[in-house]
Amino acid sequence: MDGNAELGMLIAEVAELRPLPAVAVRALEIAEGEQFSAHELAQAISADQALTAKLLRLSNSAYYGFPRRITTVRDAVVLLGFRAVRSATLASCVIDTLPGGTVLDPATAWRYSVTVGLLAEVLARATQMHQDEAFTAGVLHNIGRLALDQHRPRELMASRNLARQQGVTLPEAQRLVLGYTDADLGGA
């Protein structure tokens, strides 16, 4: 089967992602609305332990550099702001809709995605572009690799091994093994 046909089949598989959890949907609704308070947003997020942990970890990251440790979701919401919390919630949910694969470590993938999102946000701020969109794009830039990890783990591992052994880039190795790259998949 050629790369385009395989890519089309994989896109159909990946399109069947799990829906966002109700807690995350509610948090996103609150973060979008102007009539809600930080307390209401914090309450919604606090109903999900994983989302709470990720938000606190993000708020205590070196990127934000707050002078004290952030220990409550409410403090995180107030200090980060609704837009940042919305972006982080969306990023967390998108990553979590892909069940864990076998090649990539989920915690490392989350940290990497958020780090790229934060760097994209910094660049957007410096160039007066939309920071939320940049953050989201940065977080999602690697979604194709996460999908490969879930749906084509052997091929992803073979690509990584080939890249190391042959001294080629990962995209070059993926084209040789799969006929397409994780960026092709993520951009589809």
| Contacts for 111 with CB less than 8 Å, ≥ 6 apart | none
- Conformation bin of residue 113: beta by default, left when phi > 0, alpha when psi is -120 to 50: alpha
SS3 content of the chain, % helix, strand, coil (to 5): 70, 0, 30
Identity of residue 172: E
What's the burial of 24, exposed, middle or buried (CB within 10 Å: 0-12/13-18/19+)? Answer: buried
Q: What is the pLDDT of residues 121-157, one digit of tens each?
A: 899 999 999 887 888 888 888 888 888 988 889 999 9
pTM score over 0.85:
no
What pLDDT score does 161 carry? 96
pLDDT over 70 at 1, yes or no: no
Do 27 and 57 contact (CB within 8 A), yes or no?
Answer: no
Do 181 and 142 contact (CB within 8 A), yes or no?
Answer: no
| Contacts for 4 with CB less than 8 Å, ≥ 6 apart | 179, 180
Q: What gap in Å lies between CA 80 and CA 78, rounded to an integer? A: 6
Instruction: Calculate the alpha carbon distances from 112 to 58, 105, 115, 175 in Å.
Output: 12, 10, 5, 23
Pairwise pLDDT comparison (158 vs 112), residue with the higher score: 158
Structural domains of the chain, with CATH: 3-187 (1.10.3210.10)
3-state secondary structure of 17: coil
Look-up of token digits 């972006």 = 87
Q: What is the pLDDT of residues 56-67, one digit of tens each?
A: 988 888 878 888
